[in-house]
């Protein structure tokens, strides 16, 4: 009898384990909610300046999630190579975007992660909204359900908030650009009041976007992972070099599925795409040859 009960327990345990594996692989949370991803990229935002500025919305996200303020971006710390690293999951040696001209990206082998989503789960709705339009250049025909380029961060945030409230969104990438502009004009430094002011302003846009999630009619059935990072830092009114001031960025993963506290392992911007895919129930295949790993979950 005990033997039979033991066997039954084992069988049940196996079934539960199987169900759990299925849910993780299929992109459901443990509570049966549908997993979704919102990525917010803040161009040129240094982690030390983020910590020095008054940023209640960003603070709420990292304090309730997994974070690293020592993450690294591409050795070519310019927007083209770095955003491409974040969105493909590989460094410039593979994606081959070497500057902001996007001359010859290797999209065949290292496409935007929306392309992988489309291949693996074509039913998912993918959105990309940016202030800096070239970020869309690695999207191929049909990769995104929706793309938009808007001239100011305020307009980007307004558009994103309205899309999140009204549309069936599964994955959203948002690029905010004005902190980088402030860095170029007033220097990327905790000593630069105008740079900190720009970060405080972007924090309000982040707040606007995140609070739009709560207003989704389907929000209670959804498990959103919010990932925040930057393409690069900066110093002396510029960036692009392989130095810590330019290459050190923040990585934040917030939401029910995120761990809590500092991520102690090495984190790279290439982890953004891989972590997003994993949360959507698309674990990276070895054949994709990605450089990123799952971080913060």
Residue 58 or 230: the one with the smaller Cβ distance to Zn ion is 230
Rg over CA atoms, the chain: 20
* Shortest Å, Cβ 44 to Zn ion: 5
In angstroms, the CA 43 to CA 49 distance is: 13
User: How far apart are the C-alpha atoms of 166 and 251, rounded to whole Å?
Assistant: 28
Q: Is 198 helix (H, G, I), strand (E, B) or coil?
A: helix
CA angle 88, 91, 96 (to 5 degrees): 80
Q: HSE-up of 262 (CA within 13 Å, CB side)?
A: 7
Per CB under 5 A, 74 contacts Zn ion? no
Among 23-31, 127-135, 152-160, 179-187, the segment contacting Zn ion (CB under 5 A): 179-187
Asked whether position 180 contacts Zn ion by CB under 5 A, the answer is yes
Smallest distance, Å, CB 181 to Zn ion? 8
Minimum distance of Zn ion from residue 239's CB (angstroms): 6
| Residue closest to Zn ion, measured at CB | 180
User: Tokens 């549309």, residue?
Assistant: 167
Minimum CB distance to Zn ion smaller for 180 or for 271: 180
CB of 187 to Zn ion, least distance (A): 12
Total number of residues binding Zn ion (CB under 5 A)?
Answer: 1
Q: Who contacts 184 (Cβ-Cβ below 8 Å, separation ≥6)?
A: 44, 234, 237, 238
Between 231 and 291, name the residue whose CB sits nearer to Zn ion. 231
Span from 82-90, 114-122, 173-181, 222-230 in contact with Zn ion (CB under 5 A)? 173-181
Task: For Zn ion, give the closer residue by CB, 207 or 240.
Answer: 240
Contact region for Zn ion (CB under 5 A) — 12-20, 152-160, 172-180, 207-215?
172-180
**Residue 143 or 180 with smaller CB distance to Zn ion:** 180
Segment near Zn ion (CB under 5 A); pick from 20-28, 131-139, 148-156, 174-182: 174-182
Do the Cβ atoms of 272 and 39 come closer than 8 Å? yes
Residue 184 CB, nearest approach to Zn ion (Å): 6
Q: For Zn ion, which is the closer residue by CB, 72 or 232? A: 232
Spatial contact of 242 and 72, defined as CB atoms under 8 Å apart: no
Least distance between Zn ion and beta carbon 135 (Å): 12
Q: Taking CB under 5 A as the rule, does residue 231 contact Zn ion?
A: no
Comparison of 180 and 291: residue with beta carbon closer to Zn ion? 180
Which residues are CB-neighbours of 243 under 8 A, at least 6 positions away?
235
Strands in 34-42's sheet, in edge-to-edge order, are 146-149, 126-130, 171-176, 34-42, 222-229, 248-254, 65-72, 261-262
Instruction: Report the Cα 80 to chain-centroid distance in Å.
Output: 16
Residue range at the interface with Zn ion (CB under 5 A); choices 7-15, 66-74, 156-164, 176-184: 176-184
Phi-psi map region of 62: left, alpha, beta (phi>0 left; psi -120 to 50 alpha): alpha
Using CB under 5 A as the criterion, which residues of the chain lie in contact with Zn ion when the complex forms?
180
């Amino acid at each position: 009898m005990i033997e039979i009960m033991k066997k039954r327990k084992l069988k049940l345990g196996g079934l539960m384990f199987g169900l759990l594996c299925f849910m993780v692989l299929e992109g459901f949370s443990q509570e049966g909610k549908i997993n979704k991803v919102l990525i917010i990229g803040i161009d040129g935002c240094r982690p030390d300046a983020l910590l020095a500025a008054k940023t209640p919305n960003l603070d709420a996200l990292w304090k309730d999630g997994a974070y690293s303020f020592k993450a690294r971006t591409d050795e070519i710390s310019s927007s083209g190579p770095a955003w491409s690293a974040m969105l493909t999951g590989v460094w410039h040696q593979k994606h081959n975007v070497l500057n902001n001209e996007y001359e010859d990206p290797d999209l065949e082998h290292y496409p935007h992660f929306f392309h992988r989503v489309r291949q693996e789960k074509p039913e998912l709705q993918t959105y990309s909204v940016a202030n800096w339009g070239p970020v869309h250049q690695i999207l191929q025909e049909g990769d995104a359900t929706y793309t938009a380029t808007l001239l100011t961060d305020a307009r980007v945030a307004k558009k994103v908030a309205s899309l999140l409230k009204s549309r069936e969104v599964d994955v959203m990438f948002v690029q905010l650009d004005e902190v980088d502009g402030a860095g170029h004009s007033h220097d990327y430094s905790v000593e630069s009041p105008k740079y900190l002011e720009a970060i405080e302003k972007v924090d309000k846009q982040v707040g606007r976007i995140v609070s739009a999630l709560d207003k989704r009619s389907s929000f209670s059935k959804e498990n959103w992972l919010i990932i925040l990072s930057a393409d690069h830092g900066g110093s002396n009114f510029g960036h692009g070099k392989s130095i810590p001031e330019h290459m050190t960025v923040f990585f934040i993963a917030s939401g029910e599925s995120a761990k809590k506290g500092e991520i102690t392992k090495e984190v790279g911007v290439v982890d953004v795409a891989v972590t997003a895919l994993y949360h959507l129930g698309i674990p990276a295949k070895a054949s994709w040859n990605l450089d990123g790993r799952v971080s913060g979950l």
